Amino acid sequence: MSLEGLEARWDAAWTEQRTYAFDRTRTRDEVYSIDTPPPTVSGSLHVGHVFSYTHTDVVARYQRMRGREVFYPMGWDDNGLPTERRVQNYYGVRCDPSLPYDPDFTPPHEGGEGKSIKSADQVPISRRNFVELCERLTVEDERQFEALWRRLGLSVDWSHHYQTIDARSRAVAQKAFLRNLARGEAYQAEAPGLWDVTFQTAVAQAELEARDYPGHFHRVAFGGADGPVHIETTRPELIPAVVALVAHPDDERYQHLFGTTVTSPLFGVEVPVLAHPAAEPDKGAGIAMCCTFGDLTDVQWWRELQLPTRSVVQRDGRLSRETPEWITTEAGRALFGELAGKTTFSARTAVVDALRASGDLDGEPVPTQRKANFFEKGDKPLEIVTSRQWYIRNGGREWEQRDLRAELLGRGEELAFHPDFMRVRYENWVGGLNGDWLISRQRFFGVAIPLWYPVTADGEVDHDHPIAPDEATLPIDPSSDVPPGYTADQRGVPGGFVGDADIMDTWATSSLTPQIAGGWEWDDDLFARVFPMDLRPQGQDIIRTWLFSTVVRSHLEHGSLPWRHAAISGWILDPDRKKMSKSKGNVVTPMGLLEEHGSDAVRYWAASARLGTDAAFEVGQMKIGRRLAIKVLNASKFALSFGGDGGPTAQALDAAAVTEVLDRAMLAGLADVVERATEALEAYDHTRALELTETFFWTFCDDYLELVKDRAYGAAAEGLTVSPEATASARAALALALDTLLRLLAPVLPFATEEVWSWWREGSVHRAPWPDAAPLRAAAGDADPAALDAAGRALAALRKVKSEAKVSMRTPILRAELVVPSVHLALVEPVADDVRAAGRAQGLTLVGDDVEAALVRSHELGEA
RNA sequence: GGGCGAUUGGCUCAGUGGUAGAGCGCCUCGUUCACACCGAGGAGGUCACUGGUUCGAACCCAGUAUCGCCCA
């Protein structure tokens, strides 16, 4: 028996037989729907995908066998920066939206990888050409993902797959946005926001990553009435943007300064000294310069202390080319003239030199590690610039109409997290939000913000009166489509219109996967059968993004949770207990892994890890899974081999034929396993269910199969007799047990169990009902499951004698006194003949005594 | 600095109040009669540490240490 080739064979069979096809005639209460996070196809496949998606598939298969019609679609997340960057490198191009479309464009490269093509060498192409290349590349990526998922055995209905960039997704995302806008949940604002200089785009709070960033503390003197006031700053180039000095209200050192003003060095701008609790007394000098804007604390001070706006850093990361009007001294204006247009980095050097020359720098700069905000995909610290962007309310800012934060916290309580402690990550995130959700992105490959703006007669864009399309026309592209009531030639001219040039944040689409997959507003019949969904599986890292944003959209649009359960998978750790990642070079190709060990084996490893718990990448665990899968094949072949004539069929499942005590005891134990495994799976604890089943299965193979072997053959050992009824009992019990065990193992080992099922049963095990303990209990009668265990221990004692005598297990025991704990005697006596047969121990005397475990007191061995 | 989780035999992990468990690895044997991608037997742990609660603690409580993740 071999596992080779099972994956390809059964994947083809399941596709052909539509085993996992969703039956959309079923009603919501009969359906179990899963909102699988669509993987980012341009990202690389890694072991973590295999791990967490296996967890989901185990749930899907279990629920399907429980009789629920499982809605389990798969989507691909294509849009956004990862794809754009990959396209730039792969084809050697970059997007320039000002260029016209070239229908005959051929990319200069094909298959470039990494950072091999410098941006200077990238060919500028139109937005439409660029998007076409994005689409071309993602098709290839999707093929690889689907092949992997099929190989892994995910029971997905592939006819329901979607892409977060396809027309339907764009329509859903735009419609949901327009609904948000109409209800006042979406708004535009001119506000300070985080800006990535490299990617030239705004960045949302959820995309932030705080990283250590080397810098220097510069001790700088401001001019005060009673002498210099020293502050320490890592960003002296922002001194021209200073609007106040801020210290903690309780800080003794600065009490006398509150309410006074000081003068900035070099630029001579007079600013107030103010008190605010966000100032940290033990950090630097304890008094900070507030600029517009150096960091997020500056934004808070600016807002709460009503400070003026004096920005000097532009979107390109350079200081403004014009000298600001608030700098009035001649020396100050002259110095700024030298800084104008410089990057923040070279401006910093120039300012430090000037401070040194003027004597306002106290000592030399001291190296420090500070935390700076980065875009999670960027490598330069973010700047804070003021710009006009679109936001969706998420409870992060006060809203006079509703207490959205409280409502969303309530949704968090309503949602069943598995494991439950993951809920606090949601609560911490929602509780700590300090702004609404910025959704505008200045990128190209994504869903366009579906709005135009009028251009006034004097050529100004009127952002306050956006023009929305009719819902029936969605999806639209405002850069090529024309708003109602206008003609194409009015684009960009006075009295005409302009389209919003931005796209939406990736999450603004991805947060709608239940709606996209479920057919919201284009297949309401389907939507009513699957929404709200039952399960959202995902990683703990995206609770604050994917999970939260999806809850926001569903709450706003439908007034409900998007799903009832959230199953959170842990990380994969390498042998050094570090998170596996590409940069560490310790990732393994998932397809190679599946080919090497077999899909059932890899699934076993994944299913052995509980939800929420990090798991070691352990090849050893996969080998155990492989051994288990092979054992399923071999033990099944053996159990089905009795009785000749090609083995038993479903007719062998005759509970009434089970009359022997040992057989009944085994079924009683199996009934317990069914009950407890079912309970565990209902509680989203697939690991416990697997452990229970697996433990029983090994006992079944090692002890029960050995104990009933002879009886099932119908061949009695010497000195014993076997009745036809006793043989029939063994065969029926084997068939019943195998039937049950295959179903219990099917969610974890879909290939091996399906293979065995096909030998003797009709249809697919994956559409067979989940086992029920009741019929097993009926067949077991009043048998005590401990009888199998006691018999197994008795057999082990006989084996030990042979093992210690270093003889074959086939060696007959001519005479032996087997001592069992007195409390076990009544259990072993009725099954003593099975023990005698399995131990080749014709002359076995059984006694009870006060012993810890069964042992052989005296014996005489024969010849093998 | 705050939050969450973890710490059990060489390794990976179960075990949530009543005499320490599994698999792998290791040691000793056996075997091709379902399974060598095999079988049997065996050795191996003061359950991170310190206090406390309890008749009794790996488990409950308090604190400490180390590791991981998330947020400042």
Domain endpoint, select from A783, A816, A840: A783
pLDDT at A717 over 80: no
C1’ B8 / CA A433, Å: 40
The answer to whether ipTM exceeds 0.85 is yes
- Whichever domain contains A294, its CATH number is 3.90.740.10
Domain endpoint, select from A384, A401, A430: A384
Q: What is the Cα–Cα distance from A281 to A249, expressed in whole angstroms?
A: 10
Q: What is the pLDDT of residue A463?
A: 93
Residue A691 belongs to a domain: yes
Lookup: nucleotide whose C1' is closest to A641 CA: B34
Protein-proximal positions, strand B, CB < 7 A: 2-5, 11-15, 22-24, 28-31, 33-35, 37-42, 67-72
Mean pLDDT of the A146-159 span: 94
pLDDT at A588 over 80: no
Q: Are residues A232 and A364 in the same domain?
A: yes
CB atoms within 10 A of CB A193: 24
User: In terms of pLDDT, which residue wins out, A104 or A722?
Assistant: A104
Residue A83 belongs to a domain: no
Tell me which residues from 203 to 222 on chain A have a beta carbon below 7 angstroms from nucleic acid strand B: 205, 208-210
Residue A602 belongs to a domain: no
Mean pLDDT of the A167-174 span: 95
Tell me which residues from 153 to 212 on chain A have a beta carbon below 7 angstroms from nucleic acid strand B: 205, 208-210
What would the pLDDT profile of A531-548 be if each residue is shown by its tens digit?
A: 999 999 998 888 888 999
Q: What is the pLDDT of residue A22?
A: 96
Q: What is the pLDDT of residue A631?
A: 95
Q: Are residues A711 and A631 in the same domain?
A: yes
pLDDT at A577 over 70: no
Residue A206 belongs to a domain: yes
Q: Are residues A792 and A750 in the same domain?
A: no
pLDDT at A645 over 60: no
Q: Are residues A798 and A738 in the same domain?
A: no
pLDDT at A658 over 90: yes
Provide the mean pLDDT of chain A: 89
| Matching residue, tokens 């999970």 | A547
CA nearest to A57, candidates A757, A694, A753, A750: A750
Q: Give the long-range contacts of residues A541-548, CB within 8 A, separation 24 or more.
A: A542/A37, A543/A422, A543/A425, A543/A426, A543/A429, A543/A568, A544/A206, A544/A425, A544/A426, A544/A429, A545/A206, A545/A207, A545/A507, A546/A37, A546/A507, A546/A510, A546/A511, A547/A426, A548/A206, A548/A394, A548/A408, A548/A426, A548/A429, A548/A430
Tell me which residues from 423 to 462 on chain A have a beta carbon below 7 angstroms from nucleic acid strand B: 424-425, 428-429, 432
Tell me which residues from 360 to 399 on chain A have a beta carbon below 7 angstroms from nucleic acid strand B: 371
Residue A364 belongs to a domain: yes
pLDDT at A693 over 90: yes
Q: What is the Cα–Cα distance from A164 to A160, expressed in whole angstroms?
A: 13
C1’ B27 / CA A806, Å: 14
Name the percent of chain A lying above pLDDT 70: 96
What would the pLDDT profile of A322-362 be if each residue is shown by its tens digit?
A: 898 998 999 999 999 999 999 988 999 999 999 999 999 99
Lookup: nucleotide whose C1' is closest to A618 CA: B12
Q: What is the pLDDT of residue A779?
A: 94
Lookup: nucleotide whose C1' is closest to A608 CA: B13
Q: Which residues of A825-834 are buried (b: 16+ CB within 10 A; e: fewer)?
A: bebbbbbbbb
Q: Which domain holds residue A251?
A: 201-384
Structure tokens at A197: 């200089």
Q: Are residues A804 and A748 in the same domain?
A: no
Instruction: Name the residue closest to B36, CA to C1'.
Output: A627
H-assigned helices in A19-92? 47-65, 81-91
Tell me which residues from 554 to 613 on chain A have a beta carbon below 7 angstroms from nucleic acid strand B: 571, 573, 575, 577-579, 608, 610, 613
Query: Is the C-beta atom of A638 closer than 7 angstroms to strand B?
Result: yes
Q: Are residues A704 and A829 in the same domain?
A: no
Confidence of residue A689 (pLDDT cuts 50, 70, 90): very high
Residue A770 belongs to a domain: yes
Lookup: nucleotide whose C1' is closest to A616 CA: B12
What would the pLDDT profile of A594-640 be if each residue is shown by its tens digit?
A: 999 999 999 999 999 999 988 888 888 999 999 999 999 999 999 88
Q: Are residues A749 and A860 in the same domain?
A: no
Lookup: nucleotide whose C1' is closest to A617 CA: B12
Q: What is the pLDDT of residue A387?
A: 83
Cα–Cα distances (Å) from A359 to A227, A266, A334, in that order, read 14, 10, 18
C1’ B37 / CA A749, Å: 16
C1’ B58 / CA A803, Å: 34
Q: Are residues A816 and A679 in the same domain?
A: no
Q: Are residues A233 and A348 in the same domain?
A: yes
Lookup: nucleotide whose C1' is closest to A801 CA: B41
- Work out how many domains chain A is built from and give that number: 3
C1’ B3 / CA A540, Å: 14
C1’ B37 / CA A666, Å: 28
Residue A613 belongs to a domain: no
Q: Are residues A686 and A815 in the same domain?
A: no
Q: What is the pLDDT of residue A248?
A: 85
Confidence of residue A499 (pLDDT cuts 50, 70, 90): very high
What would the pLDDT profile of A114-147 be if each residue is shown by its tens digit?
A: 555 666 778 888 888 888 888 888 888 888 889 9
Cα–Cα distances (Å) from A751 to A148, A155, A740, A743, in that order, read 15, 11, 16, 12
Residue type, A534: D
Beta bridge partners of A162: A75
- Whichever domain contains A705, its CATH number is 1.10.730.10
Residue A88 belongs to a domain: no
Q: What is the pLDDT of residue A138?
A: 85
Q: What is the pLDDT of residue A279?
A: 85
pLDDT at A651 over 70: no
Tell me which residues from 452 to 511 on chain A have a beta carbon below 7 angstroms from nucleic acid strand B: none
C1’ B41 / CA A48, Å: 39
Q: What is the pLDDT of residue A774?
A: 95
C1’ B63 / CA A147, Å: 53
pLDDT at A233 over 70: yes
Q: Are residues A790 and A747 in the same domain?
A: no
CB atoms within 10 A of CB A306: 7
pLDDT at A493 over 80: yes
CA nearest to A562, candidates A537, A542, A534: A534
Structure tokens at A288: 């900070």
Confidence of residue A113 (pLDDT cuts 50, 70, 90): low
Instruction: Name the residue closest to B37, CA to C1'.
Output: A627
3-state SS of A789-826 is HHHHHHHHHHHHHHHHCCCCCCCCEEEEEEEEEHHHHH
Query: Is beta strand A437-438 parallel, antiparallel or unpaired with respect to A383-392?
Result: antiparallel
Residues in chain A: 864
Q: What is the Cα–Cα distance from A185 to A847, expressed in whole angstroms?
A: 80
Q: What is the pLDDT of residue A576?
A: 60
Lookup: nucleotide whose C1' is closest to A579 CA: B68
Confidence of residue A110 (pLDDT cuts 50, 70, 90): confident
Q: What is the pLDDT of residue A860?
A: 87
Q: Are residues A799 and A746 in the same domain?
A: no
Domain endpoint, select from A346, A366, A384: A384
What would the pLDDT profile of A9-59 be if each residue is shown by its tens digit?
A: 999 999 999 999 999 999 999 999 999 988 887 667 788 889 999 999 999
Instruction: Name the residue closest to B15, CA to C1'.
Output: A688
**Of A246-260, A585-599, A825-839, which gets the smallest average pLDDT?**
A585-599
pLDDT at A679 over 80: yes
